């Protein structure tokens, strides 16, 4: 049975198909003698979108062998990954990003892709090998930390995020995830410290403001909590969690009409998401 791709993967594939088709219409496109390559591109991508990955791979390989194309190489890397061929995926993604296939960079790029495709075991193996090749490689610990947090392995996640900060002290997202971990553990002072550091580095991401609003509310600092939640909404008006937490805060303060409006916005946004 064909493997149906997730919506995000389908969208990427659709973009790649459109790019391949458009290239054939551009001035200077390959002459008719190269039509088989063009057909292989399109046929391969259509198989890919339909989830027929085993059928897609030979067409994409054939197209890439006849003429280098980053779009096709990237699609082929994803197809290899989704059929659990990580070494071939790494070789193809290395070709896309022009890095040596056995380099730490190639393993990192492969690990990131595998993680996005929710192939956690393969992602961890690739990222671990990336760090074995270069212990100071940026981003590898960060992605491993994300994987650990998603599996509720908070101590492991915290260790990886701190290791990432040792490599790059200005990694705002690593600080955000440390704040997130401490929030999940109800360690509010530690969460506040990490989240404040995160927004000092990158003040334009709403996530830390939402968690700060929650942390300040839990530590009986309602004015600071309201300020953080309103800042989150300023940067991301469609953040339903920020609206909902603000509604709760306003309700607790006896500001019923303001709370009602925020609850309504949160409910509408929840409906839009569904």
- Give pTM, 2 decimals: 0.82
Report yes or no on 155 lying in a domain: no
Measured between alpha carbons, how far is 84 from 192 in angstroms, rounded to an integer?
Answer: 40
Structure token digits, residue 68: 């280098």
| Residue 217's CATH number | 1.25.40.10
Report yes or no on 195 lying in a domain: no
Tell which of 83, 105, 120 closes a domain: 83
CB 127 within 8 A of CB 119: no
Q: What is the pLDDT of residue 270?
A: 87
Tell which of 50, 83, 116 closes a domain: 83
Report yes or no on 249 lying in a domain: yes
Of 56, 119, 49, nearest in space to 90 by CA: 119
Report yes or no on 88 lying in a domain: no
Report yes or no on 149 lying in a domain: no
Report yes or no on 197 lying in a domain: no
Weakest mean pLDDT among 53-62, 83-92, 161-170: 53-62
Report yes or no on 181 lying in a domain: no
Decide if pLDDT at 213 tops 50.
yes
Q: What is the pLDDT of residue 91?
A: 97
Mean pLDDT (the chain, rounded):
89
Averaged pLDDT for residues 69-74: 92
Decide if pLDDT at 31 tops 60.
no
CB 249 within 8 A of CB 225: yes
Decide if pLDDT at 32 tops 50.
no
Confidence of residue 240 (pLDDT cuts 50, 70, 90): very high
Tell which of 83, 115, 146 closes a domain: 83
Measured between alpha carbons, how far is 173 from 194 in angstroms, rounded to an integer?
Answer: 10
Averaged pLDDT for residues 42-48: 88
Higher pLDDT among residues 13 and 120, named by residue: 120
Averaged pLDDT for residues 150-161: 97
Measured in degrees and rounded to the nearest 5, phi and psi for residue 203 equal -80, 5
Higher pLDDT among residues 239 and 271, named by residue: 239
CB 174 within 8 A of CB 142: yes
User: How many structural domains is the chain composed of?
Assistant: 2
Report yes or no on 20 lying in a domain: yes
Measured between alpha carbons, how far is 183 from 13 in angstroms, rounded to an integer?
Answer: 37
Which domain range does residue 62 map to? 1-83
């Amino acid at each position: 049975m064909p493997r149906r791709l997730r919506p995000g993967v389908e969208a990427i594939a659709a973009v790649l198909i459109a790019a391949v088709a458009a290239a054939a219409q551009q001035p200077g496109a390959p002459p008719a003698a190269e039509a088989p390559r063009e057909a292989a591109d399109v046929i391969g991508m259509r198989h890919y979108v339909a989830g027929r990955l085993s059928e897609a791979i030979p067409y994409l390989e054939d197209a890439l062998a006849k003429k280098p194309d980053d779009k096709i190489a990237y699609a082929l890397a994803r197809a290899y990954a989704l059929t659990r061929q990580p070494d071939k995926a790494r070789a193809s993604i290395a070709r896309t990003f022009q890095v040596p296939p056995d380099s730490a960079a190639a393993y990192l790029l492969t690990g990131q892709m595998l993680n996005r495709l929710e192939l956690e075991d393969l992602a961890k193996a690739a990222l671990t090998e990336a760090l074995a090749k270069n212990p100071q490689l940026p981003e590898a610990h960060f992605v491993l930390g994300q994987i650990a947090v998603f599996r509720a392995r908070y101590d492991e996640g915290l260790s990886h995020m701190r290791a990432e900060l040792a490599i790059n002290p200005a990694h705002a997202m690593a600080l955000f995830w440390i704040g997130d971990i401490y929030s999940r553990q109800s360690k509010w002072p530690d969460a506040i410290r990490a989240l404040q550091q995160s927004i000092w580095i990158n003040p334009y991401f709403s996530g830390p403001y939402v968690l700060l609003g929650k942390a300040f509310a839990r530590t009986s600092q309602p004015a600071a909590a309201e300020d953080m939640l309103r800042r989150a909404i300023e940067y991301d008006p469609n953040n339903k969690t920020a609206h909902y937490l603000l509604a709760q805060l306003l309700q607790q303060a006896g500001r019923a009409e303001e709370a009602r409006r925020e609850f309504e916005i949160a409910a509408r946004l929840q409906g839009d998401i569904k």
